[in-house]
Structure 1
Amino acid sequence: MSDLTDLGLSKYEAEAYRALVDAGPATARELSETSDVPMGRIYDVLGSIESRQLARSQDASRPKKYVAVDPDAALDRLLAARERELDAEADQYATVADELRGELARPPEPDEGYWTAEVGADVAIERLVECIDDADESIHSVSHTVPAGVDVDAASNRIADHLVDALERDVTVRFLASPALLEDVPDAAGDPSLSLLEEYENFEARVGDSVHGDVTIVDGVEVCLDLRNPIAPEEAFAVIDLTDPSFATSVREAFDRGWEAADPIEG
């Protein structure tokens, strides 16, 4: 259940304001008696909600009386104040993150290759996006077919957004597709996402008969390899991520051979 404390008031401030709304003009003693705010705290609490423009005091009366600001106006003020606090907090976190980016160096490349594996049909797109975001110099990607169950439009738009970011960082992107992929996505050649990417000189896409898998090479050292379900080959099964310059070089050489034999995707 929502409460005024959710908008930044303390427990006593919330109780005092509610008591004012219910009671109408009232003295501090009367409010203390009708709320759970102790008499020893009531003046500080009333002063606090008055400073927040949630209540007004009638100084001419003796003893002084307090009256609540209209709840709609009070809630608008609380919400605006809370939004300012959250914006300031978000800015603070962003500043901390920027400072840490300067302090935290990238980990050194391992002397020997290492790999990780993630199982699940939903990880392929996520890992591909991460690979794109990790790239500093180059992305060489091969795609054979669209796994069953993937929302093609949503996936292509999301991937395109991250590729644009990479291209803006001057990352070279080469995309090699199979004829089967173009059959899975009949409008791929005229896809607005592809048209957007083709505006960048550091992007190129081709289609070739030699493509029979799904793999992405990042900066010549990292290889993201998609595996299909051995029982249901049309389904995505797992992603293996290998960081091994020697292995990546071998995969890149195979990519280059396929690239040379491929044709530009005609828009």
Structure 2
Amino acid sequence: MLLDEKTLVTLQRLGLTYYGARIYETLVLLGPSDAARLSKESDVPRTRVYDILRRLETEGWITSERTRPITYTARYPREVLEERKAAFNAAVDETANDLSMLYDNQMEKENPRVWLLRGSVNVTVKLLDMIGRSKKNIMLMGALYFADEIEQLKTQLQYAKKRGVTVRLITQKSIRLKDGDLDILGHLSPVVSGVKVYGPPYSKSAIVDDREVLIIFSRLDDDVPDEDSVIAIWIPNTSVASNWASIFNAVWNV
């Protein structure tokens, strides 16, 4: 029987062995079958097929009826695959949390270090990465935004807000760019928890979870920020980030 290789690969990614994937897909195609027929149609050795069927039944991929010979039936694919996908996503989330905790603990131990980033693309990647790892709060201050960046930022802030992260924004209503005015509040106010219209027009800082801060600058050309000259300082240190957060809060409470 000709089996779909793409399906086999996906089934293996969800935890099945190669032979287990062949047996399950064959059973879906054939309907209820006994071990001998499954071995023949799936090209799985007869000496292996019983062990594989027992494992598939134990893991919830198939059911069996104690007839003579025993008849095996595949569980409904959408149901069983949704179960495996949910388990896989839960495992990914747990691993992400564990690794992030180790990462955070390591940053706590290190002496303050400063990284210099050049170019709007590199700076945006770092900003989105910080927001993607946020757990508690995000503070954004300043009005240095560009058209290519702000939609990506809006999407990441939406995800952060859905995770329960508090997002506060201090900025100007808009910024004048070489291609025209950019409506900052129009883009970002729907995805933040609070907004204050204030702050420097030609720089920007992001403080995430009081543990890291990104400070962004750009050269001006006739009072218009030059996107090609963007630079940023990234400081992954809780003491520095907390001090910067104090500045943010002082401005917020003015």
TM-score greater than 0.5 by the shorter chain = yes
- What is the TM-score normalised by the length of structure 1? 0.54
Whether 1:241 aligns to 2:241 is no
Sort the Cα spacing of 1:21 and 1:174 in 2 relative to 1 into closer, same or farther, 3 A: closer
Shift of 1:89: 1.0
Q: CA offsets, 1:195-242, max 9 Å, x none? A: 886x75xx64337xxx673253868x9672423498x96433331317
* Alpha-carbon separation, structure 2, partners of 1:48 and 1:163: 40
Counterpart of 2:181 in structure 1: which amino acid? D
Whether 1:184 aligns to 2:176 is no
Equivalent of 1:56, from 57, 64, 86? 64
Q: CA offsets, 1:114-155, max 9 Å, x none? A: 653333332344445567889x999684436x54x5365x26
Number of positions where the alignment pairs a residue of Structure 1 with one of Structure 2: 227
The aligned counterpart of 1:205 is: 197
* Alpha-carbon separation, structure 1, partners of 2:98 and 2:61: 33
Whether 1:6 aligns to 2:10 is yes
SS in 2 for 1:150: helix
* Alpha-carbon separation, structure 2, partners of 1:14 and 1:129: 38
Shift of 1:74: 3.1
Counterpart of 1:57 in structure 2: which amino acid? E
Sort the Cα spacing of 1:107 and 1:239 in 2 relative to 1 into closer, same or farther, 3 A: farther
Shift of 1:2: 1.9
* Alpha-carbon separation, structure 2, partners of 1:179 and 1:19: 61
Contact 1:224–1:242 (8 Å) recurs in 2: yes
The aligned counterpart of 1:66 is: 71
Equivalent of 2:78, from 76, 79, 84? 76
Q: Which has the greater radius of gyration? A: 1
In structure 1, list runs of 5 or more residues that go unmatched. none
Contact 2:33–2:73 (8 Å) recurs in 1: no
- What is the TM-score normalised by the length of structure 2? 0.56
Shift of 1:21: 5.5
Shift of 1:79: 0.3
* Alpha-carbon separation, structure 1, partners of 2:28 and 2:153: 54
Shift of 1:184: 1.6
* Alpha-carbon separation, structure 1, partners of 2:35 and 2:198: 78
RMSD (Å) for aligned C-alpha atoms: 5.3
The aligned counterpart of 2:148 is: 150
The aligned counterpart of 1:216 is: 205
Sort the Cα spacing of 1:85 and 1:164 in 2 relative to 1 into closer, same or farther, 3 A: closer
The aligned counterpart of 1:15 is: 22
Sort the Cα spacing of 1:140 and 1:44 in 2 relative to 1 into closer, same or farther, 3 A: closer
* Alpha-carbon separation, structure 2, partners of 1:33 and 1:229: 73
Counterpart of 2:7 in structure 1: which amino acid? D
Q: Identity, % of aligned pairs?
A: 19
Counterpart of 2:55 in structure 1: which amino acid? S
* Alpha-carbon separation, structure 1, partners of 2:9 and 2:152: 41
Contact 2:158–2:191 (8 Å) recurs in 1: no
Contact 1:58–1:66 (8 Å) recurs in 2: yes
Contact 2:34–2:72 (8 Å) recurs in 1: no
